[in-house]
């Protein structure tokens, strides 16, 4: 009987075990289907973006007036996550609100709505144990200092605050951060995100259209080591300079347009031992033409002996300063240079600008800088038709300072005046043969020529005329004496008789 009881007991236990396993499997399966359904409903960037973030609407704000914060124990349906929601606070009421909720190290999620706090300090110990920190829909101007080491923050939401700046190194220690929301603020620059490695990182800057495009350019190219993805990319714009030829302003570019930079790299000039830098400059809008993203090419200080033969399309600015370039032929006859409007070639070995005569560059340029080269002569007729004076309203500027011209009378009379009215740094143009600046030349001194025999021709002519009148006067006097006194005065009476003298005898 005992054996039968044990057997029946064992069978009963096995039945309960099977039932329990089945129930667990059913619940797990139901939970999996629910998760899959939620994932399907939240598919896309926005769903993935907020998976790790704690956020509550204004309707959930605490009603008690004596405490501006309240504890929420079921964050994302996970009872292990303890959260606090605070609303309508400043520095003093936030401190009091966190105290009255009994904040301790078990709190992992905090959302602060409508805070009026000038500066948030990232090294505040209250954030030390947080996985999600949201400070939204308020007035916060600055974020200073760094988050503490080992802070397990996964999501940081600072949206809708009018935020002006974030300390560049503030996020460097957040090794688990995967979500950063800086949308609808007034930031000009992003904090340093170079510490983001080996994980997908979501960034939302939609509505923060003040960020400079150059600042976020490095984060556009996603790599395995730094996979930064932009949430709400179709709504994201950045700021860049634009030109309308006669004035400068600021224009917004869609983030997707910046990806155009990827196509620049294969065309960016490079050689065996040198590499230029190419970057998107601004949106260029010219009346009658399609707006385009312009390109800036920087080939300075790489020991070039000639201008690059190829440039990316839409290149409008080229800097080849601090090289060994001697001629400007490509600027006038190379089709890759037809859109160049800013040309910087300071500190080279260029000796002449004659090749620019009649070039398309002179029709289009905004800036020509050839400072500290070896230009000896400056034919004003080449640049004169294309410059409009060195006033701030002019959009064409020429800089030639540091060159040593061969100075002569023409330089003092014509070139000096032209430099003063057309060249921005006219007071730095020097003379090669005279130890002076061109603007200090004096015509009276420079227009004196070396003497030769032709300088005395007028004196010789005057002397001849005087001698002629003296001779006529002497002959007339001798004739008068001879007629009145009957003799010839000296020296006429000493002169030998000539065969024709009988003509004068009576």
Segment 368-375 shows an average pLDDT of 95
Would you state the pLDDT for residue 36? 34
Burial class, 493, CB count within 10 angstroms (exposed 0-12 / middle 13-18 / buried 19+): exposed
Alpha-carbon torsion 262, 267, 271, 274, what sign?
negative
pLDDT at 388 over 70: no
**178 phi/psi in degrees, rounded to 5:** -125, -10
* Integer CA distances (angstroms), 230 to 48, 190, 296, in order: 11, 13, 25
3-state secondary structure 304-340: CCCCCCCCCCCEEEEECCCCCCCCCHHHHHCHHHCCC
Would you state the pLDDT for residue 422? 83
Contact (Cβ atoms closer than 8 angstroms) between residue 251 and residue 283: yes
Would you state the pLDDT for residue 14? 46
Return mean pLDDT, the chain: 80
CA distance 486 to 368: 91
Residues with Cβ within 8 Å of residue 280, at least 6 apart in sequence: 213, 214, 217, 240, 258, 260, 261, 264, 293, 294, 295, 296
Show the tokens assigned to 431: 């003379």
Residue 503's pLDDT band (boundaries 50, 70, 90)?
A: low
Among residues 354, 282, 348, the alpha carbon closest in space to that of 321 is found at 348
**384 phi/psi in degrees, rounded to 5:** -55, -45
* Strands lying side by side in the sheet with 139-144: 116-121, 139-144, 165-166
Segment 341-362 shows an average pLDDT of 92
Contact (Cβ atoms closer than 8 angstroms) between residue 51 and residue 202: no
pLDDT in tens, 286-298: 666 666 778 899 9
| Residue 308, Ramachandran bin (φ over 0: left; ψ between -120 and 50: alpha; else beta) | beta
Query: For the whole model, what pTM was predicted?
Result: 0.51
Would you state the pLDDT for residue 35? 37
Query: If you classify domain 48-256 with CATH, what class do you get?
Result: alpha beta
Among residues 256, 222, 258, 228, the alpha carbon closest in space to that of 240 is found at 258
What single string gives the DSSP state of each residue in 15-50? HHHHHHHHHHHHHHHHHHHHHHHHHHHT-SHHHHHT
Residue 445's pLDDT band (boundaries 50, 70, 90)?
A: confident
Would you state the pLDDT for residue 359? 87
pLDDT at 225 over 80: no
* Integer CA distances (angstroms), 499 to 50, 492, 496, 503, 505, in order: 136, 15, 10, 9, 12
Contact (Cβ atoms closer than 8 angstroms) between residue 351 and residue 373: yes
CA distance 504 to 467: 24
Would you state the pLDDT for residue 26? 42
**192 phi/psi in degrees, rounded to 5:** -65, 125
pLDDT in tens, 139-197: 999 999 999 999 999 999 999 999 999 999 999 999 999 999 999 999 999 998 877 77
* Integer CA distances (angstroms), 441 to 402, 414, 431, 438, 501, in order: 16, 11, 9, 5, 67
Highest mean pLDDT of the ranges 4-18, 335-349, 446-460: 335-349
Segment 390-413 shows an average pLDDT of 81
Would you state the pLDDT for residue 19? 41
The SS3 call for residue 411 is helix
pLDDT in tens, 261-271: 666 778 899 99
Alpha-carbon torsion 25, 28, 30, 33, what sign?
negative
Residue 156's DSSP bridge partners are: 133, 180
Would you state the pLDDT for residue 274? 94
What are the domain boundaries of the chain?
48-256, 453-503
pLDDT at 346 over 80: yes
DSSP secondary structure letter of residue 413:
I
Angle at the Cα of 414 from the Cα atoms of 410 and 417, rounded to 5 degrees: 140
Considering only residues 11 and 336, tell me which one the structure prediction assigns the higher pLDDT: 336
Neighbours of 452 (CB within 10 A): 7
Would you state the pLDDT for residue 106? 78
Residue 333's pLDDT band (boundaries 50, 70, 90)?
A: very high
Considering only residues 330 and 32, tell me which one the structure prediction assigns the higher pLDDT: 330
* Integer CA distances (angstroms), 77 to 57, 74, 105, 134, 140, in order: 16, 5, 20, 18, 30
Would you state the pLDDT for residue 2? 36
Show the tokens assigned to 417: 């005046």
Least trusted range by pLDDT, from 27-36, 210-219, 253-262, 330-339: 27-36
Contact (Cβ atoms closer than 8 angstroms) between residue 170 and residue 193: no
């Amino acid at each position: 009987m005992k054996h039968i009881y044990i057997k029946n007991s064992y069978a009963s236990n096995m039945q309960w075990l099977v039932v329990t396993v089945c129930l667990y499997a059913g619940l797990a399966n139901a939970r999996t289907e629910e998760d899959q359904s939620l994932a399907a409903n939240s598919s896309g960037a926005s769903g993935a973006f907020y998976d790790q973030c704690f956020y509550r609407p204004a309707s959930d704000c605490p009603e008690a007036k004596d405490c501006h914060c309240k504890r929420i124990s079921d964050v994302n349906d996970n009872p292990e996550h303890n959260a606090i929601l605070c609303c309508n606070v400043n520095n003093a009421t936030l401190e009091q609100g966190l105290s009255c909720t009994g904040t301790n190290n078990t709190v992992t999620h905090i959302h602060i709505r409508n805070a009026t706090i000038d500066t948030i300090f990232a090294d505040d110990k209250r954030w030390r144990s947080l996985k999600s920190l949201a400070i939204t829909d308020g007035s916060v101007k600055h974020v200073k200092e760094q988050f503490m080491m080992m802070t397990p923050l996964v999501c940081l939401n600072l949206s809708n605050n009018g935020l002006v700046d974030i300390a560049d190194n503030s996020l460097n220690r957040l090794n688990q951060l995967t979500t950063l929301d800086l949308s609808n603020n007034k930031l000009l620059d992003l904090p340093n995100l170079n510490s983001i490695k080996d994980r997908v990182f979501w960034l939302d800057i939609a509505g923060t259209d003040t960020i400079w495009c150059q600042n976020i350019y490095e984060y556009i190219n996603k790599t395995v080591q730094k996979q930064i993805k932009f949430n709400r990319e179709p709504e994201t714009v950045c700021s860049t300079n634009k030109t309308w030829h006669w004035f400068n302003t600021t224009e917004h570019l869609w983030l997707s347009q910046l990806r155009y930079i990827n196509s620049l790299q294969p065309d960016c000039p490079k050689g065996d031992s040198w590499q230029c830098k190419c970057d998107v400059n601004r949106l260029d809008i010219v009346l009658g033409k399609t707006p385009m993203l312009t390109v800036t090419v920087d080939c300075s200080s790489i020991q070039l002996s000639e201008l690059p033969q190829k440039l990316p399309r839409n290149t409008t600015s080229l800097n080849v300063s601090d090289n060994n370039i001697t001629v400007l032929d490509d600027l006038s006859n190379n089709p890759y240079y037809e859109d160049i409007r800013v040309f910087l070639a300071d500190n080279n070995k260029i000796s002449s600008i004659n090749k620019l005569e009649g070039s398309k560059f002179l029709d289009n340029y905004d800036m020509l800088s050839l400072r500290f080269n070896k230009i000896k002569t400056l034919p004003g007729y080449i640049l004169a038709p294309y410059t409009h004076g060195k006033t701030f309203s002019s959009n064409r500027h020429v800089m030639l300072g540091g060159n040593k011209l061969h100075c002569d009378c023409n330089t003092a009379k014509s070139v000096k005046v032209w430099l003063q009215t057309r060249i921005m740094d006219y007071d730095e143009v020097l003379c090669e043969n005279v130890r002076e600046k061109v603007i200090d030349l004096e015509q009276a001194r420079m227009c004196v020529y070396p003497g030769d025999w032709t300088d005395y021709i007028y004196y010789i002519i005057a002397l001849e005329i005087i001698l002629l009148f003296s001779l006529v006067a002497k002959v007339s006097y001798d004739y008068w004496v001879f007629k009145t006194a009957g003799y010839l005065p000296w020296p006429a009476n000493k002169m030998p008789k000539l065969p024709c003298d009988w003509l004068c005898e009576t």
